[in-house]
Chains A and B, each alone.
Chain A
Amino acid sequence: MTDVAITGVGLHPFGRFEGTSITDMGVAAVRAALAEANLPAGRGAFQAAFCGTAYGGVASGHKVLGRLGLTSMPIIDVEAGCASGGAALMLAAGAIRAGQYDTVLVFGIEKMPKGIIRSSFFEPWQEETGLAATPAYFALRAQRLMMTSGVTKQHLAAVVVKNRAHGVHNPDAMFRKEVDAADVLASRVVCEPLHLWMLCTPNEGAAAVVLSRATRPGQVRLVSAVLRSHLPGSVLNESTPLSGLTDDSVPSPSTLAATNAYEQAGLGPADLDVVECQDTDAARELLSYEELGLCPPGGAAGLLDEGATSLGGRLPVNPSGGLLSKGEPLGASALGQVVELVRQLRNEAGARQVDGATVALAHTVGRGANAGVVILTR
């Protein structure tokens, strides 16, 4: 089968940028990725483009590439909630593997309002009656994790402390100041047990990745890009259903995606050197450890406690600072993870470098539910 290489990555920092449009941010990220990929200027350098965005509106990708004079090829916006970028990557990689294209541009863009995300996923009556409170769904999941796994509020704070410590070294992150557990626990309670600093900030940013048919050794390889949706049953998964079953054995969409991704790659969790995972809230990161097979069920608190997932540990998770440091521009966040991991695999991550990293995994999950898992190797 054709191998897929990542030949260039680019990023517009994640944060708040008054006066900079979503298109401006996309242009910056795409320019940087195309330059890194050393593509000849002008049309023809890539044969298709996929743009991840959830709030961008009609033909957002066309607006970005139109500014660069890079239209005429298919340009397709892809929406899959928080996993939009992962979905775009899956489509692009599949097209290259199938021989449809040699080179595909994948980018993600977003500019989100402040505060709790308003989502068209909810019905108007759900909004009216207070059932569209996204952080409350996160809180229920956090509470159940605490009830069943030995995770405490101190662990939730420790995830924030870890990721914010990593984010200090990431110039593209929104928050770059270290915090301690007392600060986190002193921030206001949004939805018990989640305090404000345990929740990521919806914000703005863009990321871009150039995929090509692999031509030489040493290139970063995209070995899996999987998107899965949920199996019905759980009342806590990101499909935010109004009811579920008392059956707790239904695998989560993240577990489904991870299982497929490991199979495709011929690799397992023990092979990973570095992970970027969905830390929309602190408990979400710990749940991801279990769903991705980084620890056995109930082992997330232990993995965190032993320092395994901190920089310098045996499997650093979210060396970029995670969404807790970067914020979450929905359409760009999955590709932001990929940009980070490509830099890690190329040994270009500076003070947050994971030494000798050769196998990396990125994970996003969100509304739909949609879960994306990407595995990269070098």
Chain B
Amino acid sequence: MVAVALFVEGDDGPRLLGSRCRGCKSHHFPRHDTCPYCGLSDIEARELSPTGVLWAWTAVTAPPPGYVGAVPYGFGVVELPEGVRVITRIAEGDPARLHAGQPMRLILEELSRDNDGVPVLAYAFEAAPAATEPTP
């Protein structure tokens, strides 16, 4: 688990820990105590939807500084139904296998183990299985 409270693991899978401004109704991720969009501090904690659609994506082919996982890895933006776009790892290292608007769902990835053997987990999105795609 990374140091910042970004997600929880519930019985029905992981959820991102976000927040919502009671004034302008915008959602935030990670949690804010002041709304970055309108400046109001009237904020409620929210767990964000675990599904969304793919908005932008790429793959990182060389390890960036400080990274503890393997390359290549997917990286992109998933748009959630709350009207929030989230920067995230994508559990697909080949950009050609993804397409815009593709349904995605939240997972947790184990990147490595730290010195105490504790898994380093990261939130990520993977392509949702076909069964969960809405029929056209």
Contact = CB atoms under 8 A, between A and B. Distances in A.
Interface string A119-148: 000111101111111111001100110010
Contacts of A144: 55-56
A345 B4 CA distance: 51
Nearest to B83: A246
B89 A130 contact: yes
B61 A188 contact: yes
Interface in A140-186: 140, 143-144, 147
A234 to B, nearest CB: 9
A241 B61 CA distance: 22
A116 B75 contact: no
B117 to A, nearest CB: 16
Interface residues of B, number: 43
Contacts, number: 124
A245 B69 contact: no
B49 interface: no
B122 interface: yes
A130 B85 contact: no
B100 A131 contact: no
B60 A140 contact: no
Contacts of B68: 128-129
A73 to B, nearest CB: 37
B86 A133 contact: no
A363 B57 CA distance: 27
Contacts of A235: 77, 85-87
B29 A243 contact: yes
Interface of A: 115-118, 122-125, 127-136, 139-140, 143-144, 147, 188-194, 232-233, 235-236, 240-246
6 contacts: A116-B62, A127-B66, A136-B75, A140-B77, A242-B30, A246-B79
